[in-house]
Amino acid sequence: MAETDPPVTDPPVTDTPATDTPSTDPPVTTREAQRTVHPHLVSPRLRWQIFAVTWIAYAGFYFVRQAFSVAKLGILDDPVLSHTLSERVLGVIDAVYLAAYAVGQFVWGAWSDRFGPRVVVITGMVGAIGAGLLMGASSALLVFGGAMVIQGLAQSAGWAPLCKNMGAFFPVAERGRVLGFWSTNYAFGGLAAPPFLGWLAYSVFDSWHAAFFCGSATLAVVLVLFVVFQCNAPEGEGSSEQVGDTKQRGSSLALYRKTLRDPMVLTLGAAYFLLKPARYAILLWGPVLVSQRLPNVDKVAATVIPVAFGAAGVVAPIAVGWVSDKLFQSRRVPACVLSLALLTVVLALFIPLTATDSVGVMVVLLAVIGLSVYAADSMISCVAAVDFGAEEGAGTAAGMVNGCGSVGAILGGLLPGFLSGSALFLLFSVAAALAGAVMIPHWNRRPRTAFGPAEETLATR
Protein backbone atom coordinates (compact mmCIF):
# COMPACT_ATOMS: atom_id res chain seq x y z
CA MET A 1 0.00 0.00 0.00
CA ALA A 2 1.28 3.43 -0.94
CA GLU A 3 2.08 5.71 1.91
CA THR A 4 -0.32 8.70 2.14
CA ASP A 5 1.29 12.11 1.96
CA PRO A 6 0.62 14.45 4.86
CA PRO A 7 -1.89 17.25 4.13
CA VAL A 8 -0.46 20.44 2.72
CA THR A 9 -1.10 23.53 4.83
CA ASP A 10 -1.46 26.95 3.15
CA PRO A 11 0.79 29.64 4.52
CA PRO A 12 -0.89 32.00 6.99
CA VAL A 13 -2.29 35.24 5.58
CA THR A 14 -2.02 37.22 8.80
CA ASP A 15 0.70 38.04 11.26
CA THR A 16 -0.61 35.43 13.69
CA PRO A 17 1.84 32.50 13.93
CA ALA A 18 0.56 29.26 12.46
CA THR A 19 -0.15 26.41 14.87
CA ASP A 20 -0.29 22.70 14.35
CA THR A 21 -3.50 22.36 16.37
CA PRO A 22 -6.35 21.33 14.04
CA SER A 23 -9.50 23.44 14.11
CA THR A 24 -12.43 22.01 16.01
CA ASP A 25 -14.95 24.59 14.73
CA PRO A 26 -17.92 23.09 12.84
CA PRO A 27 -18.09 23.81 9.12
CA VAL A 28 -19.83 27.05 8.11
CA THR A 29 -23.12 26.48 6.36
CA THR A 30 -24.17 28.39 3.26
CA ARG A 31 -26.87 30.26 5.18
CA GLU A 32 -24.41 31.32 7.89
CA ALA A 33 -22.00 32.55 5.25
CA GLN A 34 -24.78 34.51 3.58
CA ARG A 35 -25.71 36.07 6.91
CA THR A 36 -22.13 37.25 7.35
CA VAL A 37 -21.52 38.46 3.81
CA HIS A 38 -25.01 39.66 2.83
CA PRO A 39 -27.61 39.80 5.63
CA HIS A 40 -30.30 40.92 3.15
CA LEU A 41 -30.34 37.42 1.66
CA VAL A 42 -31.59 35.94 4.91
CA SER A 43 -35.26 35.35 5.73
CA PRO A 44 -37.51 37.09 3.19
CA ARG A 45 -40.37 36.55 5.63
CA LEU A 46 -38.60 38.71 8.20
CA ARG A 47 -37.95 41.45 5.66
CA TRP A 48 -41.63 41.68 4.74
CA GLN A 49 -42.59 41.48 8.38
CA ILE A 50 -40.45 44.58 8.97
CA PHE A 51 -42.00 46.25 5.91
CA ALA A 52 -45.50 45.66 7.29
CA VAL A 53 -44.88 46.60 10.92
CA THR A 54 -42.94 49.79 10.09
CA TRP A 55 -45.56 50.82 7.50
CA ILE A 56 -48.32 50.33 10.07
CA ALA A 57 -46.24 52.12 12.71
CA TYR A 58 -45.86 55.35 10.75
CA ALA A 59 -49.46 55.30 9.54
CA GLY A 60 -50.49 54.76 13.17
CA PHE A 61 -48.79 57.97 14.27
CA TYR A 62 -51.31 59.87 12.14
CA PHE A 63 -54.28 58.66 14.17
CA VAL A 64 -53.05 60.76 17.08
CA ARG A 65 -51.66 63.55 14.91
CA GLN A 66 -54.99 64.06 13.10
CA ALA A 67 -57.10 63.97 16.27
CA PHE A 68 -56.65 67.71 16.81
CA SER A 69 -57.77 68.44 13.26
CA VAL A 70 -60.99 66.49 13.86
CA ALA A 71 -61.54 67.95 17.34
CA LYS A 72 -61.38 71.53 16.00
CA LEU A 73 -64.89 71.17 14.58
CA GLY A 74 -66.36 70.46 18.02
CA ILE A 75 -64.18 72.99 19.80
CA LEU A 76 -65.18 75.83 17.47
CA ASP A 77 -68.83 74.78 17.76
CA ASP A 78 -68.74 74.88 21.57
CA PRO A 79 -70.14 78.24 22.74
CA VAL A 80 -67.96 78.18 25.86
CA LEU A 81 -64.66 76.98 24.43
CA SER A 82 -64.84 78.95 21.18
CA HIS A 83 -64.08 82.17 23.07
CA THR A 84 -60.90 80.78 24.62
CA LEU A 85 -59.89 78.39 21.84
CA SER A 86 -60.69 80.57 18.85
CA GLU A 87 -59.46 79.91 15.31
CA ARG A 88 -56.44 82.13 15.89
CA VAL A 89 -55.54 80.38 19.13
CA LEU A 90 -55.91 76.98 17.47
CA GLY A 91 -53.63 78.21 14.70
CA VAL A 92 -50.99 79.23 17.24
CA ILE A 93 -51.28 75.81 18.92
CA ASP A 94 -50.71 74.16 15.53
CA ALA A 95 -47.65 76.35 15.02
CA VAL A 96 -46.29 75.31 18.44
CA TYR A 97 -46.77 71.67 17.49
CA LEU A 98 -45.03 72.09 14.12
CA ALA A 99 -42.12 73.99 15.65
CA ALA A 100 -41.56 71.11 18.09
CA TYR A 101 -41.91 68.69 15.16
CA ALA A 102 -39.22 70.55 13.18
CA VAL A 103 -36.83 70.49 16.14
CA GLY A 104 -37.43 66.80 16.68
CA GLN A 105 -36.58 65.94 13.08
CA PHE A 106 -33.05 67.22 13.57
CA VAL A 107 -32.66 65.23 16.81
CA TRP A 108 -34.26 61.81 16.46
CA GLY A 109 -32.27 60.69 13.41
CA ALA A 110 -28.99 60.96 15.33
CA TRP A 111 -30.56 59.27 18.36
CA SER A 112 -31.72 56.34 16.24
CA ASP A 113 -28.11 55.94 15.05
CA ARG A 114 -26.94 55.84 18.65
CA PHE A 115 -29.70 53.83 20.34
CA GLY A 116 -31.40 52.05 17.45
CA PRO A 117 -34.81 52.70 15.80
CA ARG A 118 -36.71 50.48 18.25
CA VAL A 119 -35.99 52.58 21.33
CA VAL A 120 -36.65 55.89 19.57
CA VAL A 121 -39.90 54.84 17.87
CA ILE A 122 -41.34 53.24 21.01
CA THR A 123 -40.46 56.39 22.97
CA GLY A 124 -42.21 58.50 20.35
CA MET A 125 -45.34 56.33 20.38
CA VAL A 126 -45.59 56.41 24.16
CA GLY A 127 -45.18 60.20 24.15
CA ALA A 128 -47.81 60.66 21.41
CA ILE A 129 -50.31 58.44 23.23
CA GLY A 130 -49.77 60.28 26.51
CA ALA A 131 -50.11 63.72 24.90
CA GLY A 132 -53.30 62.62 23.13
CA LEU A 133 -54.86 61.38 26.34
CA LEU A 134 -53.91 64.62 28.08
CA MET A 135 -55.61 66.73 25.40
CA GLY A 136 -58.72 64.57 25.51
CA ALA A 137 -58.98 64.94 29.28
CA SER A 138 -58.60 68.73 29.43
CA SER A 139 -59.63 71.80 27.48
CA ALA A 140 -57.35 74.27 29.27
CA LEU A 141 -55.25 76.39 26.93
CA LEU A 142 -51.97 75.82 28.77
CA VAL A 143 -52.56 72.07 28.83
CA PHE A 144 -53.26 72.08 25.08
CA GLY A 145 -50.11 74.07 24.38
CA GLY A 146 -47.85 71.90 26.55
CA ALA A 147 -49.36 68.67 25.22
CA MET A 148 -48.83 69.81 21.63
CA VAL A 149 -45.13 70.42 22.30
CA ILE A 150 -44.88 66.83 23.54
CA GLN A 151 -46.94 65.66 20.58
CA GLY A 152 -44.69 67.42 18.07
CA LEU A 153 -41.52 65.95 19.54
CA ALA A 154 -43.11 62.50 19.76
CA GLN A 155 -44.48 62.54 16.20
CA SER A 156 -41.09 63.47 14.75
CA ALA A 157 -39.61 60.29 16.27
CA GLY A 158 -41.24 58.23 13.54
CA TRP A 159 -39.94 58.97 10.06
CA ALA A 160 -36.13 58.97 10.20
CA PRO A 161 -35.77 55.98 12.55
CA LEU A 162 -38.26 53.92 10.54
CA CYS A 163 -36.45 54.77 7.28
CA LYS A 164 -33.24 53.58 8.92
CA ASN A 165 -35.01 50.41 10.05
CA MET A 166 -36.20 49.64 6.50
CA GLY A 167 -32.78 50.35 5.03
CA ALA A 168 -31.23 47.68 7.24
CA PHE A 169 -33.41 44.94 5.73
CA PHE A 170 -33.53 45.76 2.01
CA PRO A 171 -30.48 45.80 -0.29
CA VAL A 172 -29.68 48.81 -2.43
CA ALA A 173 -31.00 47.20 -5.60
CA GLU A 174 -34.48 46.80 -4.10
CA ARG A 175 -34.93 49.87 -1.91
CA GLY A 176 -36.07 52.21 -4.67
CA ARG A 177 -39.09 50.09 -5.58
CA VAL A 178 -39.85 48.81 -2.09
CA LEU A 179 -39.60 52.15 -0.31
CA GLY A 180 -41.57 53.85 -3.06
CA PHE A 181 -44.57 51.80 -1.95
CA TRP A 182 -43.58 51.97 1.72
CA SER A 183 -43.66 55.77 1.65
CA THR A 184 -47.42 55.69 0.99
CA ASN A 185 -47.84 55.21 4.75
CA TYR A 186 -48.03 58.92 5.60
CA ALA A 187 -50.53 59.64 2.83
CA PHE A 188 -52.65 56.70 3.96
CA GLY A 189 -52.53 57.92 7.56
CA GLY A 190 -53.74 61.34 6.51
CA LEU A 191 -56.42 59.65 4.41
CA ALA A 192 -57.82 57.17 6.92
CA ALA A 193 -57.49 58.91 10.29
CA PRO A 194 -59.85 61.92 9.90
CA PRO A 195 -63.00 60.05 8.77
CA PHE A 196 -62.39 57.25 11.26
CA LEU A 197 -61.90 59.63 14.18
CA GLY A 198 -64.67 61.93 12.98
CA TRP A 199 -67.15 59.06 12.84
CA LEU A 200 -66.22 57.90 16.34
CA ALA A 201 -66.18 61.41 17.82
CA TYR A 202 -69.38 62.82 16.33
CA SER A 203 -71.52 59.80 15.38
CA VAL A 204 -70.67 57.27 18.10
CA PHE A 205 -69.67 59.34 21.16
CA ASP A 206 -70.89 62.83 20.15
CA SER A 207 -67.89 64.50 21.77
CA TRP A 208 -64.74 66.06 20.34
CA HIS A 209 -62.84 64.63 23.33
CA ALA A 210 -63.35 61.16 21.84
CA ALA A 211 -61.17 62.04 18.85
CA PHE A 212 -58.11 62.20 21.14
CA PHE A 213 -59.03 59.11 23.16
CA CYS A 214 -59.76 56.98 20.09
CA GLY A 215 -56.63 58.18 18.31
CA SER A 216 -54.50 57.27 21.32
CA ALA A 217 -56.19 53.88 21.62
CA THR A 218 -55.46 53.14 17.95
CA LEU A 219 -51.79 54.01 18.32
CA ALA A 220 -51.62 51.89 21.49
CA VAL A 221 -52.67 48.84 19.44
CA VAL A 222 -50.02 49.70 16.86
CA LEU A 223 -47.45 50.05 19.65
CA VAL A 224 -48.15 46.48 20.80
CA LEU A 225 -47.69 45.19 17.24
CA PHE A 226 -44.44 47.13 16.91
CA VAL A 227 -43.03 45.78 20.17
CA VAL A 228 -43.87 42.20 19.19
CA PHE A 229 -42.80 42.14 15.53
CA GLN A 230 -40.10 44.79 15.04
CA CYS A 231 -36.32 44.33 15.24
CA ASN A 232 -33.58 46.80 14.39
CA ALA A 233 -31.48 44.83 11.91
CA PRO A 234 -30.84 41.32 10.59
CA GLU A 235 -28.82 39.11 12.91
CA GLY A 236 -25.12 39.83 12.73
CA GLU A 237 -25.37 43.25 11.10
CA GLY A 238 -25.31 45.53 14.13
CA SER A 239 -21.55 45.75 14.66
CA SER A 240 -20.71 46.88 11.14
CA GLU A 241 -23.56 49.34 11.19
CA GLN A 242 -22.32 50.91 14.40
CA VAL A 243 -18.83 51.35 12.97
CA GLY A 244 -20.22 53.24 9.99
CA ASP A 245 -22.41 55.37 12.21
CA THR A 246 -19.45 56.32 14.40
CA LYS A 247 -17.54 57.55 11.37
CA GLN A 248 -20.54 59.53 10.17
CA ARG A 249 -21.01 61.20 13.56
CA GLY A 250 -17.39 62.26 13.56
CA SER A 251 -17.69 64.06 10.23
CA SER A 252 -21.24 65.38 10.53
CA LEU A 253 -20.23 68.99 11.12
CA ALA A 254 -18.00 69.01 8.04
CA LEU A 255 -20.80 67.50 5.99
CA TYR A 256 -23.22 70.20 7.10
CA ARG A 257 -20.74 72.90 6.10
CA LYS A 258 -20.16 71.28 2.72
CA THR A 259 -23.88 70.85 2.10
CA LEU A 260 -24.66 74.43 3.06
CA ARG A 261 -22.30 75.60 0.32
CA ASP A 262 -24.20 73.67 -2.35
CA PRO A 263 -26.52 76.18 -4.09
CA MET A 264 -28.88 73.46 -5.32
CA VAL A 265 -29.50 72.19 -1.81
CA LEU A 266 -30.42 75.73 -0.80
CA THR A 267 -32.72 75.95 -3.84
CA LEU A 268 -34.48 72.74 -2.89
CA GLY A 269 -34.79 73.89 0.70
CA ALA A 270 -36.41 77.14 -0.44
CA ALA A 271 -38.81 75.27 -2.73
CA TYR A 272 -39.79 72.85 0.02
CA PHE A 273 -40.31 75.71 2.45
CA LEU A 274 -42.72 77.31 -0.03
CA LEU A 275 -44.58 74.07 -0.76
CA LYS A 276 -45.17 72.67 2.73
CA PRO A 277 -47.65 75.32 4.02
CA ALA A 278 -50.34 74.28 1.51
CA ARG A 279 -50.05 70.59 2.35
CA TYR A 280 -50.14 71.10 6.10
CA ALA A 281 -52.96 73.65 5.97
CA ILE A 282 -55.24 71.04 4.42
CA LEU A 283 -53.82 68.24 6.56
CA LEU A 284 -54.44 70.13 9.81
CA TRP A 285 -57.41 72.32 8.86
CA GLY A 286 -59.14 70.24 6.17
CA PRO A 287 -62.42 69.58 8.03
CA VAL A 288 -62.68 73.24 9.10
CA LEU A 289 -61.96 74.52 5.57
CA VAL A 290 -64.61 72.20 4.14
CA SER A 291 -67.12 73.25 6.77
CA GLN A 292 -66.50 76.93 6.01
CA ARG A 293 -66.94 76.49 2.24
CA LEU A 294 -69.84 73.99 2.54
CA PRO A 295 -71.86 75.19 5.53
CA ASN A 296 -74.70 72.75 4.85
CA VAL A 297 -72.65 69.60 5.49
CA ASP A 298 -72.50 68.08 8.97
CA LYS A 299 -69.37 67.42 11.01
CA VAL A 300 -68.97 63.80 9.90
CA ALA A 301 -69.17 64.79 6.23
CA ALA A 302 -66.67 67.60 6.83
CA THR A 303 -64.16 65.02 8.08
CA VAL A 304 -64.91 62.53 5.28
CA ILE A 305 -64.65 64.90 2.28
CA PRO A 306 -60.90 65.63 2.80
CA VAL A 307 -60.33 61.89 2.26
CA ALA A 308 -60.03 62.83 -1.43
CA PHE A 309 -56.87 64.80 -0.59
CA GLY A 310 -55.26 61.83 1.17
CA ALA A 311 -56.40 59.26 -1.42
CA ALA A 312 -54.71 61.19 -4.22
CA GLY A 313 -51.66 61.51 -1.99
CA VAL A 314 -51.31 57.72 -1.83
CA VAL A 315 -51.17 57.48 -5.63
CA ALA A 316 -49.04 60.58 -6.27
CA PRO A 317 -45.53 59.41 -5.18
CA ILE A 318 -45.80 56.19 -7.19
CA ALA A 319 -47.21 57.94 -10.27
CA VAL A 320 -44.77 60.85 -10.31
CA GLY A 321 -41.85 58.47 -9.83
CA TRP A 322 -42.91 56.51 -12.92
CA VAL A 323 -43.35 59.73 -14.94
CA SER A 324 -39.94 60.97 -13.86
CA ASP A 325 -38.21 57.71 -14.83
CA LYS A 326 -40.06 56.87 -18.03
CA LEU A 327 -41.01 60.21 -19.59
CA PHE A 328 -38.15 62.40 -18.38
CA GLN A 329 -35.34 59.80 -18.29
CA SER A 330 -34.75 60.12 -14.53
CA ARG A 331 -34.83 63.90 -14.50
CA ARG A 332 -36.71 64.78 -11.31
CA VAL A 333 -37.11 68.53 -11.71
CA PRO A 334 -39.49 68.54 -14.74
CA ALA A 335 -42.02 66.31 -12.99
CA CYS A 336 -41.73 68.48 -9.89
CA VAL A 337 -42.15 71.78 -11.77
CA LEU A 338 -45.19 70.50 -13.67
CA SER A 339 -46.77 69.32 -10.42
CA LEU A 340 -46.18 72.77 -8.90
CA ALA A 341 -47.70 74.45 -11.96
CA LEU A 342 -50.87 72.36 -11.58
CA LEU A 343 -50.93 73.11 -7.85
CA THR A 344 -50.60 76.85 -8.52
CA VAL A 345 -53.65 76.85 -10.80
CA VAL A 346 -55.93 74.74 -8.63
CA LEU A 347 -55.12 76.71 -5.46
CA ALA A 348 -55.91 79.97 -7.23
CA LEU A 349 -59.27 78.57 -8.39
CA PHE A 350 -60.21 76.93 -5.09
CA ILE A 351 -62.32 79.75 -3.61
CA PRO A 352 -64.21 80.68 -6.83
CA LEU A 353 -65.03 77.06 -7.65
CA THR A 354 -66.11 76.08 -4.14
CA ALA A 355 -68.53 79.03 -4.12
CA THR A 356 -70.88 76.72 -6.06
CA ASP A 357 -71.59 74.91 -2.76
CA SER A 358 -71.10 71.58 -4.53
CA VAL A 359 -69.71 68.60 -2.65
CA GLY A 360 -68.59 67.03 -5.92
CA VAL A 361 -66.56 70.07 -6.89
CA MET A 362 -64.94 70.17 -3.45
CA VAL A 363 -63.96 66.48 -3.69
CA VAL A 364 -62.42 66.95 -7.15
CA LEU A 365 -60.48 70.05 -6.10
CA LEU A 366 -59.09 68.39 -2.99
CA ALA A 367 -58.10 65.33 -5.04
CA VAL A 368 -56.22 67.45 -7.59
CA ILE A 369 -54.52 69.43 -4.82
CA GLY A 370 -53.53 66.19 -3.10
CA LEU A 371 -52.17 64.69 -6.32
CA SER A 372 -50.07 67.74 -7.20
CA VAL A 373 -48.85 68.64 -3.72
CA TYR A 374 -47.80 65.09 -2.77
CA ALA A 375 -46.15 64.58 -6.16
CA ALA A 376 -44.08 67.75 -5.78
CA ASP A 377 -43.39 66.95 -2.12
CA SER A 378 -41.92 63.53 -2.89
CA MET A 379 -39.92 64.78 -5.87
CA ILE A 380 -38.25 67.65 -4.03
CA SER A 381 -37.24 65.37 -1.18
CA CYS A 382 -35.96 62.74 -3.61
CA VAL A 383 -33.81 65.14 -5.63
CA ALA A 384 -31.96 66.25 -2.50
CA ALA A 385 -30.82 62.72 -1.69
CA VAL A 386 -29.94 61.57 -5.20
CA ASP A 387 -28.28 64.61 -6.72
CA PHE A 388 -26.49 66.13 -3.83
CA GLY A 389 -24.64 64.12 -1.55
CA ALA A 390 -21.84 62.37 -2.34
CA GLU A 391 -22.07 59.00 -0.78
CA GLU A 392 -21.42 60.36 2.69
CA GLY A 393 -23.59 63.46 2.32
CA ALA A 394 -26.88 62.39 0.73
CA GLY A 395 -28.60 62.01 4.07
CA THR A 396 -27.33 65.38 5.27
CA ALA A 397 -28.67 67.13 2.17
CA ALA A 398 -32.05 65.43 2.48
CA GLY A 399 -32.23 66.22 6.19
CA MET A 400 -31.58 69.88 5.60
CA VAL A 401 -34.20 70.10 2.85
CA ASN A 402 -36.76 68.30 5.01
CA GLY A 403 -35.92 70.61 7.89
CA CYS A 404 -36.65 73.65 5.71
CA GLY A 405 -39.96 72.06 4.75
CA SER A 406 -40.86 71.52 8.38
CA VAL A 407 -40.29 75.20 9.11
CA GLY A 408 -42.63 76.05 6.23
CA ALA A 409 -45.19 73.63 7.64
CA ILE A 410 -45.44 75.85 10.72
CA LEU A 411 -47.07 78.48 8.51
CA GLY A 412 -49.49 75.84 7.24
CA GLY A 413 -50.76 75.31 10.75
CA LEU A 414 -50.72 78.98 11.72
CA LEU A 415 -52.08 80.92 8.73
CA PRO A 416 -55.57 79.33 8.44
CA GLY A 417 -56.37 80.74 11.88
CA PHE A 418 -55.53 84.30 10.79
CA LEU A 419 -56.39 84.66 7.08
CA SER A 420 -59.69 84.39 5.23
CA GLY A 421 -60.22 81.78 2.53
CA SER A 422 -59.43 83.97 -0.49
CA ALA A 423 -56.26 85.50 0.93
CA LEU A 424 -55.09 82.13 2.27
CA PHE A 425 -55.39 80.18 -0.97
CA LEU A 426 -54.01 82.99 -3.11
CA LEU A 427 -50.98 83.13 -0.83
CA PHE A 428 -50.50 79.36 -1.16
CA SER A 429 -50.87 79.68 -4.94
CA VAL A 430 -48.17 82.36 -5.15
CA ALA A 431 -45.88 80.29 -2.92
CA ALA A 432 -46.32 77.24 -5.19
CA ALA A 433 -45.54 79.36 -8.25
CA LEU A 434 -42.36 80.67 -6.61
CA ALA A 435 -41.33 77.13 -5.68
CA GLY A 436 -41.64 76.09 -9.31
CA ALA A 437 -39.83 79.19 -10.54
CA VAL A 438 -36.73 78.61 -8.41
CA MET A 439 -36.45 75.06 -9.77
CA ILE A 440 -36.89 75.77 -13.49
CA PRO A 441 -33.18 76.64 -14.04
CA HIS A 442 -32.35 73.08 -12.99
CA TRP A 443 -34.76 71.46 -15.49
CA ASN A 444 -32.12 69.15 -17.01
CA ARG A 445 -30.45 68.02 -13.78
CA ARG A 446 -30.13 64.25 -13.48
CA PRO A 447 -29.29 62.02 -10.50
CA ARG A 448 -25.65 61.26 -9.90
CA THR A 449 -24.78 58.01 -11.63
CA ALA A 450 -22.93 56.91 -8.51
CA PHE A 451 -26.24 56.41 -6.75
CA GLY A 452 -29.09 54.04 -7.33
CA PRO A 453 -32.73 54.41 -6.45
CA ALA A 454 -32.17 53.57 -2.82
CA GLU A 455 -30.90 56.92 -1.67
CA GLU A 456 -33.62 58.63 -3.69
CA THR A 457 -36.46 56.93 -1.89
CA LEU A 458 -34.93 56.98 1.57
CA ALA A 459 -35.06 60.76 1.47
CA THR A 460 -38.79 61.03 0.74
CA ARG A 461 -40.86 62.59 3.50
pLDDT in tens, 4-48: 445 545 445 444 444 444 445 454 443 443 344 344 454 788 888
CA distance 35 to 459: 27
Confidence label for 108 from pLDDT (cuts 50, 70 and 90): confident
Contact 213, 136 (CB under 8 A): yes
Of 1-5, 136-140, 343-347, 453-457, least confident by mean pLDDT is: 453-457
75-91 pLDDT, tens digit per residue, is: 888 887 877 888 888 88
Calculate mean pLDDT across residues 320-332. Answer: 76
**pLDDT top residue among 341 and 247:** 341
Contacts of 18 (CB under 8 A, 6+ apart): 9, 11, 12
> What's residue 252's pLDDT?
56
> What's residue 432's pLDDT?
95
CA distance 312 to 128: 27
CA distance 121 to 108: 9
Q: Residue 401: pLDDT above 90?
A: no
> What's residue 35's pLDDT?
43
Q: Residue 132: pLDDT above 60?
A: yes
Q: Tell me what the pLDDT averaged over the chain comes to.
A: 78
CA distance 49 to 52: 5
Whole-prediction pTM = 0.71
Q: Residue 58: pLDDT above 90?
A: yes
> What's residue 269's pLDDT?
87
Q: Residue 118: pLDDT above 70?
A: yes
2-16 pLDDT, tens digit per residue, is: 444 455 454 454 444
Q: Residue 67: pLDDT above 80?
A: yes
For residue 210, how many C-alpha atoms fall within 13 Å in the half-sphere facing its CB?
A: 14
Please, what is the end-to-end C-alpha distance for the chain in angstroms?
A: 75
